[in-house]
Amino acid sequence: MKRKSRISFVIPAYNESAGIARFHSELLMPHLKHLPEYEVIYVNDGSHDDTLEKLTAIAADDGRIRVINLSRNFGKELAVTAGLHHASGDAIITLDADGQHPPELIAKFIEKWERGAQVVIGIRKSNRKEGGVKKLGSKLFYRLLNSINTVRIEPGSTDYRLITKDVQREFVKLTEHSRITRGLIDWLGFRRDYIYFDSPARLAGTASYDSTKLLGLAVNSFISLSLKPLFILAWMGLLITLLSLVVGVFIFVEQLLLGDPLGLNFTGAALLGIFISFLVGLVLTSQGVLAVYLSHIHTHTQGRPLFVVDHSTSVGIE
């Protein structure tokens, strides 16, 4: 442990009343006793049960516990963001309150940080309650995301991670609303290291992230982290246009100029279909031109910094 280092823990909670007290006393606190200085920030994300009351009681007994109560349910990504904005530690560790991010790994995260890592990412190898469909969907998600994204995101990446003060300083500058926190942290860069773990079962209750929310998170990931989806239709349109043009020229030469020596005997309906395909290709290509302009607007409205400076490894830069 770096001398006099302060570690912040950011823990979002949504309807975790059934297990939050056990998580805090039995899972989390035993692994914080060796830390010289720390703070725990619980972010109540507009829970409908008595999660807030239980968190308030926990904080009343320990001055190192803080509770941020959001005015409504904003979603996990913004709840984590709120905690990161208020954290004051030299390093910040984010983890879930359902027990699926094992607190016994906290020491390993800190050890990786002490060895020079600025971002330490928890990679889930397996999940006891994860079905085959969800596993397949996860693999497909990361494969598609990495195929269109300029920054590689390690498959199985979770929000169980450590970031340094330098990374936090840059993260809070990001202003976009539809976000995937882990993707934005990876976009920032910095020196990364990984910890692999098997996810245990939830302490209590059911996961708040259902299929609909997971799908929404996936869509936000593709939109916020890459502009390539804007140009997919453009490339399709260009391909359709070129193919239909080639086929059209071939038919013109073979049918009209040479008198159908191959005996293909194209009908009027076939010719009409090729002509329509050509027009569809032109429309999709035109949308691609619009996508170029939209991509510039999208980039500007995200409000991301033009570049990120790693002050800890720069020389002569304040």
**Residue 286 falls within a domain, yes or no?**
yes
Looking at the predicted structure, is the pLDDT value of residue 10 above 80? yes
Q: Six-digit token pair at 35?
A: 């830390």
Q: What is the dihedral of CA 170, 171, 176, 177, to 10 degrees?
A: -160
Last residue of a domain, one of 226, 244, 260: 226
Q: What mean pLDDT do residues 61-82 have?
A: 87
The answer to which of 146-160, 190-204, 236-250 has the lowest mean pLDDT is 146-160
Whole-structure pTM over 0.75, yes or no? no
Q: For 292-312, what is each residue's pLDDT tens digit?
A: 666 666 566 666 554 444 455
Could you write out the DSSP letters of every residue in 40-88? EEEEE-S-SSSHHHHHHHHHHT-TTEEEEE-SS---HHHHHHHHHHH--
Which residue in the block uniquely carries the two structure tokens 């606190």? 29
Distance in angstroms (rounded) separating the CA atoms of residues 261 and 221? 54
CATH number reported for the structural domain that contains residue 213 in this entry? 3.90.550.10
Look at residue 99 and tell me if it is in a domain.
yes
Taking each helix axis from N to C end, the angle separating 211-225 and 132-148, rounded to the nearest 10 degrees, works out to: 10
Is residue 45 domain-shared with residue 117, that is, in the same domain? yes
Backbone φ/ψ region at 156: left (φ over 0), alpha (ψ -120 to 50), beta? left
> Does residue 99 sit in the same domain as residue 195?
yes
In this prediction, residue 209 carries a pLDDT of 56
Domain count, the chain: 2
* Pair (162, 278) in one structural domain: no
283 is in which domain, residue-wise? 228-302
Residue finishing a domain among 180, 199, 226: 226
- Give 21-68 pLDDT, tens digit per residue: 999 988 999 999 888 899 999 998 888 888 888 998 998 888 899 988
Q: Which segments of the chain does DSSP mark as H helices, in order?
A: 20-22, 51-60, 76-86, 106-114, 132-148, 165-171, 181-188, 211-225, 228-251, 268-302
Question: Is 314 among the domain residues?
Answer: no
Q: Do 168 and 263 reside in the same domain of the chain?
A: no
Q: Which of 91-105, 153-167, 242-256, 264-278 has the lowest mean pLDDT?
A: 264-278
Q: What is the rounded CA–CA span in Å between residue 171 and residue 185?
A: 7
Instruction: Name the pairing type of β-strands 192-199 and 119-127.
Output: parallel
Give CA–CA dist 226/137, Å, rounded: 19
- The top-scoring range by mean pLDDT among 3-12, 108-117, 204-213, 247-256 is 108-117
Mark whether 114 and 222 lie in a shared domain.
yes
Tell me whether residue 173 is in a domain: yes
Query: Do 263 and 147 share a structural domain?
Result: no
**Pair (128, 163) in one structural domain:** yes
Could you tell me if 202 and 247 lie in one domain? no
Q: Which of 136-140, 203-207, 218-222, 309-313 has the lowest mean pLDDT?
A: 309-313
